[in-house]
Structure 1
Amino acid sequence: MGHLASTIEFIKRLIDRDEDQLLCTTLLSMKFKVIPNAEELIESIVGFSYRERIKLVHLPDVEWVAPDQPSSPENSFCTFIESFTPHVRDAVTHIVSSNSSNQVDTVLVLDFFCVSTFMDVGHELGLPSYLFFTSNYGFLCFMLSIPDRHKNKSSEFQQVDPSHPDYYLTLPGWKNPVPTSVLPTGVFNKVGGGYATYLKLARRFWDTKGIVVNTFADLEPEAAESLTSTDHAQTPPIYMVGPVVDVNGQPNPGLDQAKRDKIMNWLDDQPHSSVVFLCFGSMGIFGADQLREIATALERSGLRFLWSIRVPPPAKTTDEVLPEGFLERVGKKGMVCGWAPQTEVLAHKAIGWFVSHCGWNSTLESLWYGVPIAAWPIYAEQQMTAFRMVKELGLAVNLKLDYRAGDLVTADEIEVAVRRLMDNGSDGDALRKKVKEMSEMGRKAVMEGGSSYNAIGQLLKDILGTSN
């Protein structure tokens, strides 16, 4: 849902700037079994005030059978998306035919995982395709570098020891050498098609009409200056339009209002900047052993905390996975919940730190509200994002930068890290100040005259073919 949420917020930004109402937007969404209430969530994010300007088309279900051969998550996901191609072609063809009498141009704005297939639909119909890149500019630089690397080394990346000469990579847009230990797991995968999937996607990035990135110039200035041209092709136009965040915090339709109120009322009773907020995203599920280690660390630390937990199956409740008597022992100092209204929580005066998986949406939300991050990435490009935030930008601290699925981070490690969050003196004060300054820069970027405000204006001109 992270990609979809930021995409909808981006659409709202376009609509808000389209004063002449020349823009007609249609959002095509697919159904995922892991998100059974996706349609409700999408409609809640769109919100009542935008329903007339954003037409929602929920594509029909598809029958998809997992491949018999080993397949990486990236390859499986792209294959699943490809199965929607006939439905996407039908929907886009209908949009084009409906607009033909009005002489309205149609463009496709595609998600990261959709470019390899749905750009072909655009080509068939003579439509330009833009990429909406929901991650950071540093990761975009990495993706754009893959095709050139493949020319010289036509194989997947290698997992090697730090002493190996290939352990550190020199990438455009990065000040520091990037260790291979923080690359997405899929780029090491050959048998399951992970590397081939990344290569296929990266090649299509170069063929887009433009790339819209959810970041801003003051946050990633080196990356913004690095993409000019390569031997492969001229870099597509880049539009930095972020931070695109849902500052209104649209409610989860599946959440009881009473549960939301319980969380916010508890925060109201906590001292300023005293609470550590732990949340690992919609797909961040730890096993019971890891949850118990986290609980033990929090209890020992004595810190105030709000902990959003996704209970791992087959367990149904937190009581089944947390140490016996844990909640009674921590008392009013801690609260455990399921889903939490993250933007509201991060905006609350009681929050002092955010222990995060470093999903890019969560990272931008944390920066928007000036809350420092302790990085505990889990999957996909999150390790790379965490490295960028900690080592490149100096806007986060390392809790477990090199975490991989299946690792067990001990209570001792976690306790040391969370204690350091609240006890790191002048270093902590300096980091908080830097995060607050970046928060102000991000807010200015989207205001009239700001870099992202201007980028959205330019994008609208390019899409609509106007010069006003």
Structure 2
Amino acid sequence: MKKAEVVFIPSPGVGHLVSTIEFAKLLIKRDNRLRVTVLVIKFPHTTETDVYIKSLPNSDSLNVINLPECSLPPTSGPGPAMNALLEAQKPNVKQAVSNLITGEQHGQLAAFVVDMFCTNMIDIAKEFSVPAFVFFTSGVAFLGLNFHIHNLFERDNVDSNQFLQLTELAIPSFANLVPTKSMPSAVLHKEYESFFISYAKGLKNADGIIVNSFEELESHAVYSFSSHPDLVGLPIYPVGPILNPEPKTKGTVDSDDIINWLDDQPPSSVVFICFGSRGSFDEDQVKEIALAVENSGARFVWSLRKPPPKGTMIPPTDYPLSELVSVLPEGFLDRTVEIGRVIGWAPQAQVLAHPATGGFVSHCGWNSTLESIYFGVPVATWPLFADQQLNAFELVTELKTAVEIALDYRVELFGGPNYLLTADKIERGIRNVLQKDGELKTAVEIALDYRVELFGGPNYLLTADKIERGIRNVLQKDGEFCLH
């Protein structure tokens, strides 16, 4: 029997591709009547997804097609650049899907699943008369914010300039007032307004939205979609956490060396400093991080990446050793050789899963957020761009599973950071996040020693206050949790 064909279209970038592939694997595992084809769109002249795609096992149920690269005209910003790229790829998508459904080995086209930034591809799904779902690779709270801000723009005639006059805003999917400084750049800058309106409208055009989150984590946000008048009727399907515990690519560091080093460290003693596949800093900020790390005295694994050339969209790369020495303070590597490792690309999930890891200085990308929660490692927040400021706010204020290094740090695409984060703030965050890990571990170990002997009774009475605290923790009502 021929399998029903589901077409996935992730947006460019390895972060979106990995979560898309992992969801596709999950879908195939749950229903063997399905065959998934992933159409990969690349930014011109980038190869960041190639290694990951080549690492995928051969499968009759999972097919990955690299679409032809498109040359793009110069544009004024990232929003127009993304729109131009996706519009240019529409003919390639249409042709690829036509080839799929006319081939002898393939079954009937069942649906499109498009990335949150690829909603213009819903037009092609309609041409083929099949439903189109959005795969939203961020959280439910952030999804709710997008819909609420779109309503303010379109229904209430609010614009970006008016947001700048506010200090905080009530968002249905957040239990707390959200500071304006934690809003995404697409909301705060007038030049992004048309892009944001088009993007949010595209989300509403979908037949449903599949979200990489889960109700136990974002219970208030999920409930808001069935209770708030502005959100009722927008079908969402939380299917997370969708994670890839295996390395995504291979850098200049041998991941076995890092894991072996972690094996020799005490439990919960190491802070992991990593800013995702696109996080990097200039030399001034690198030196502040190095000073903070050294002054804290904490054991550390630091994933330090080389920034791409200004004005490009290529991802950061690993420093050659000769350059690494020059970008760090003189003698730093020698002075910290006993307590830390500075590496390039990092096997993030493996490091977070290791019992020696006690804290995570993170950019708060949603994949990293889910991994930190899954492995029970508290975060010190240092957002850079996109949804990361909102994710950082959610971790610190809504979930209370993180400590703040910064909530308002921001790097504009094709621009620089809004300020230099000083060593004293970073050091405080490192110290606090390791202390936070101790608090979470204590919260978990409420009743590890409770025991009922066979043909006997329990060794003690577990009191109501401890049981109540456990119930609150697991439901995240008091903001403390540990999900392993």
Letter in 2 for 1:129: A
The residue aligned with 1:271 is 266
Matches within 5 A, 1:148-297: 148-158=151-161, 166-191=166-191, 194-228=192-226, 235-247=233-245, 249-250=246-247, 252=249, 254-255=250-251, 259-297=254-292
CA distance in 2 between counterparts of 1:352 and 1:259 reads 22
1:64 aligns with 2:72: yes
- Counterpart check, 1:328 vs 2:334: yes
Counterpart Cα distance in 1 of 2:384 and 2:162: 17
Is 1:59–1:87's contact at 8 Å kept on the other side of the alignment?
yes
Does 2:370 correspond to 1:358? no
Which letter maps to 1:41?
Answer: Y
- Superimposed CA distance per residue, residues 247-282 of structure 1 (whole angstroms, 9 cap, x where no aligned partner): 3x1452x436x7112111111111111000000000
Deviations 1:203-224 (A, max 9, x none): 1211211100000111011111
Pair 1:78-2:78 in alignment: no
Per the alignment, residue 92 of structure 2 pairs with 87
CA change 1:37–1:143 in 2 (3 A) is closer
The farther-off stretch of 119-128 and 307-316 is: 307-316
Identity across matched positions, percent: 39
Query: Contact 1:255–1:339 at 8 Å: present in 2 too?
Result: yes
1:87 CA drift (Å): 0.4
Which digits, 9 at most, give the CA deviation of each residue in 1:92-114, with x for residues without a partner? 22223348985x24210000110
Letter in 2 for 1:365: E
Once the two structures are superposed, the pairs formed by residues 334-349 of structure 1 within 5 Å of their partners are 334-349=340-355
CA distance in 2, matches of 1:425, 1:23: 42
Q: Structure 1 counterpart of 2:424, which letter?
A: D
Amino acid at match of 1:82: E
Residues 134-164 of structure 1: per-residue CA shift (max 9 Å, x gap): 0000000011223321234435323767xx5
Q: Which amino acid aligns with 2:279?
A: G
The answer to whether the 8 A contact 1:355-1:375 is kept is: yes
Look up the match of 2:137.
134
Q: Among 377, 391, 397, which residue is 1:385 paired with? A: 391
Q: 1: CA distance between counterparts of 2:443 and 2:80? A: 39
TM-fit CA distance, 1:237: 2.0
How far apart are 1:360 and its partner, in Å? 0.5
**327-336 or 118-127, larger mean C-alpha shift:** 118-127
Q: Is the 8 A contact 2:375 2:483 kept in 1?
A: no
Contact 2:377-2:437 within 8 A present in 1 as well: no
Aligned to 1:420: 432
Given candidates 113, 116, 126, the residue that maps to 1:112 is: 116
CA deviations over 1:424-465 (Å, ceiling 9, x no partner): 69756567779995799867xxxxxxxxxxxxxxxxxxxxxx
Q: Please state whether the residue corresponding to 1:109 is helix, strand or coil.
A: strand
Q: Secondary structure at the match of 2:190?
A: coil
Q: 1:436 to 1:277 in 2, by over 3 A?
A: farther
Q: Give the SS at the match of 2:306.
A: coil
- Which residue of the partner structure matches residue 123 of structure 1? 126
1-structure distance, mates of 2:243, 2:85: 28
CA distance in 2, matches of 1:114, 1:81: 7
Structure in which a larger fraction of residues adopt helix: 1
Would the alpha carbon gap of residues 33 and 319 (structure 1) be closer, same or farther in structure 2, given more than 3 Å must change?
Answer: farther
2:300 alignment partner in structure 1 = 305
Partners of 2:443 and 2:408 in 1: how far apart?
Answer: 21
What code does the residue aligned with 2:361 have?
V
**What amino acid does structure 2 have at the position aligned with 1:112?**
M
Secondary structure at the counterpart of residue 336 of structure 1: strand
Cα separation, 2, equivalents of 1:30 and 1:168 = 37
Shift of 1:378: 0.6
Q: 1:442 to 1:129 in 2, by over 3 A?
A: farther
CA distance in 2, matches of 1:80, 1:268: 45
**Could you say which residue in structure 2 is the equivalent of 1:13?**
26
Deviation of 1:37 after TM superposition, in Å, equals 4.3
What stretches of structure 1 of length at least 5 have no aligned partner?
A: 444-468
Aligned 8 A contact 1:215 1:242 in 2: yes
Distance 1:313 1:320 in 2: 17
The structural deviation recorded for 1:173 is 1.4
Name 1:370's counterpart in structure 2: 376
Say if 2:63 is the partner of 1:55.
yes
What secondary structure sits across from 2:20 in the alignment? Answer: helix
Amino acid of the residue matched to residue 308 of structure 1? S
* Bigger relative contact order, structure 1 or 2 (CA pairs below 8 A, ≥6 apart): 1
Residue identity matched to 1:62: C
Deviation of 1:81 after TM superposition, in Å, equals 2.1
CA positional deviation for 1:58: 0.5
Q: Secondary structure at the match of 2:395?
A: helix
Is the partner of 1:211 in helix, strand or coil? strand
In 2: Cα distance, 1:189 partner to 1:211 partner: 26
Cα deviation per residue 1:9-39 (whole Å; 9 max; x = unaligned)? 0011111111xx2101100001224642422
Unaligned runs of 5+ residues in structure 2 are 1-13, 310-318, 412-416, 446-469
Partner in structure 1 of residue 5 of structure 2? none
TM-score, normalised with respect to structure 1:
0.84
Query: 2:118 is matched by which residue type in structure 1?
Result: C
State the number of aligned residues: 425
Q: Which residue of 2 aligns with 1:145?
A: 148
Of 397, 414, 422 in structure 1, the residue corresponding to residue 403 of structure 2 is 397
- Structure 1 residue aligned with 2:3: none
**Per the alignment, do residues 114 and 292 of structure 1 end up closer, same or farther by CA in structure 2, a change over 3 Å counting?**
same
Change (3 A) 1:300 1:442: closer
**Cα 1:421/1:229, change in 2 over 3 Å:** closer
- Aligned-pair CA distance for 1:395: 1.4
Query: What is the aligned partner in structure 2 of residue 27 from structure 1?
Result: 38
User: SS in structure 2 opposite 1:150?
Assistant: helix
